[in-house]
A and B are shown apart, each in its own frame.
Chain A
């Protein structure tokens, strides 16, 4: 126990240095938690419509790269999809960028999701106000509350101009965000076609099919691909993965987030190295005394590593509290995911960072000659 006491008391002996150490760790850990959390949140958003749809197979224009950027094709092909053996049902789904005119006269880009109101694909979830059936009325839309920071405050019954068409807010959802940050606007399939008739009259952007339970998804996919030679066919998992991969890695956005997280790690490492080293130098005579009275190097190392470990735990806890506060006051248009594995991983990374930072001090202590303690 006294070794733990020595580590703890050495740490709190110099309050200023302790504050600097904890500030460095906290800054570093908060940056990592936020950056990786944003990355996870945006990654999840990028495929959220796919994952909230019940279909197994997604048919789309050839060489489509992600969910948000697809070309229209004739909707009549849905009949061909339904005729493939093993298909239980098939529906059309529209994804289309458009512009909404704001109350103040400005415009914002939005992403229309036009779905079959009786189907199981592309339906909004987390509905706060309104009912799906309210979309059956002419030109009705559902908007997410997180979009209101950009589109202006909206209530049920409010009207807005979408492209050149007046639409009415029929429902409000919570927490449905796109990766592109353009707000999703859910509407009926027919309304979506009416809003952008130039691109969408008689056309869809997806056909989504459900595979019967007595058929394999892979087998039906192969049949579907034979039928739709000039189109891409993906399973839901494949399409979600391809979309996430596109936005996070092919665009370089993921590298940006991890670059920032790495920067946080390096800044934390440098600050903690410096403060632990200066603390070690401040107590170097005491470590020499420990060696002189019979401590092995491992005893002395353990004191320094315990200090690093205590700093890591305290800094991580402070950072977690600070991150939760930031999440409460964050702008609602940014989604930060914080699954337990993120905290576990970041905690281990914090321990590693502090351990690595302590190595410089450990090397210095290893070189202490206990004879030095006789020098008055």
Chain B
């Protein structure tokens, strides 16, 4: 199966690479993501998980190495071109949800859809479809402050699905959720991979990840230590 993302020997060094005070956040990390699969990145705090996710999401530039998304080399693209790549190929789910507090659930999704280029006339119906997909159509007129943590994360997932990107990158998506809700959110990711053929990357410490089929990636000291196919 043709990979949607190929990361080849990615390294990220903070500070002057020649300086003894430099911080090596990622070293020679290589990974391939294919449609319909969930990849789970785990590792201790400060191991480089978020750095890897940020590079895969095209919001952080690697110091060296190559990144190809849908065959397009993106490492050397500038900030004028990268937003287009992010809009087209990537959906983000954040640990703290990062919803727009002043907008309703529906408007949060509509905003993302507008950014992805959907015409205004289609925003409302598409947002409703996405909210229905994550089981939140009954909360569409609620403010984020008035829904539970699990529901917020579902809104964030609906927002990530705006524009139908092939890649979903989730950073600790269950960290702020209780056990049952966290399990439901992970199940939703698995559903997206299986039924919508999304390539899902989840950075997590959550042991419940073992309950869904995934490919584990373990990082320590900025190096990918182990890649085993599930």
- What chain A residues lie within 8 Å of B116 (beta carbons)? 294
**Which positions in B face A, CB cutoff 8 Å?**
50, 53-54, 57, 59-60, 79-80, 83-84, 86-88, 90-92, 94-96, 98, 100-103, 107, 110-116, 120, 123, 159-160, 171-172, 175
* Inter-chain contacts of B86 with A (CB < 8 A): 292-294
Asked whether, in the complex, the Cβ of A374 is within 8 Å of the Cβ of B87, the reply is no
When chains A and B are docked, how far (Å) is the Cα of A5 from the Cα of B100?
11
Task: Other than A293-B86, A294-B83, give 4 A-B pairs with Cβ distance below 8 A.
Answer: A2-B114, A10-B102, A373-B98, A376-B172
Name 18 A/B residue pairs within 8 A (Cβ), A-sorted. A6-B107, A10-B102, A283-B101, A286-B100, A286-B101, A288-B98, A289-B98, A289-B100, A291-B83, A294-B86, A294-B115, A294-B116, A296-B83, A299-B115, A371-B59, A373-B92, A374-B50, A374-B171
A80 to B107, CA, bound (A): 83
| Given A1-B114, A371-B60, A295 and B83 contact (CB-CB distance below 8 Å) | yes
A-B pairs, top 10 by smallest CB distance, nearest first, are A294-B87, A9-B102, A2-B111, A13-B102, A294-B86, A376-B95, A289-B98, A370-B59, A2-B110, A294-B83
Least distance between B173 CB and chain A CB atoms (Å): 11
- Complex interface: chain A residues within 8 A of B79 (CB): 297
Interface centre among A10, A283, A294 (most CB of B within 10 A): A294
What distance in Å separates the Cβ of A170 from its nearest Cβ neighbour in chain B?
Answer: 67
- Counting CB contacts under 8 A, is A281 at the interface? no
* Residue pair B92, A3 in contact (C-beta under 8 Å): no
Q: Which of B101, B111, B123 has the most CB of A within 10 A?
A: B111
Q: Does A318 contact B (CB under 8 A)?
A: no
Task: Verify A6–B102 contact, CB threshold 8 A.
Answer: yes
Given A13-B101, A371-B54, A376-B95, answer yes or no on A293-B60 (Cβ-Cβ < 8 Å). Answer: no
Interface string of A296-325 (1 = CB under 8 A from B): 110100000000000000000000000000
A3 to B, closest residue via Cβ: B114
Asked if B94 and A373 sit within 8 Å, CB to CB, the answer is yes
> Residues of A contacting B114 with CB < 8 Å?
1-3
Closest Cβ of chain B: how far from A9's Cβ, in Å?
Answer: 4
Known contacts A6-B111, A373-B98; A293/B92 CB under 8 A: yes
Judged by a CB distance under 8 angstroms, whether A101 is at the interface is no
Q: Which residues of B contact A196 (CB under 8 A)?
A: none
Q: Give complex CA distance A289, B93 in Å.
A: 10
Closest Cβ of chain A to B222, distance in Å, is 16
- Interchain nearest-CB distance for B97 vs A (Å): 9
A374 touches B115 (CB 8 A): no
Within 8 A of B (CB), among A108-126: none
Residue A285 at the chain B interface, CB threshold 8 Å: yes
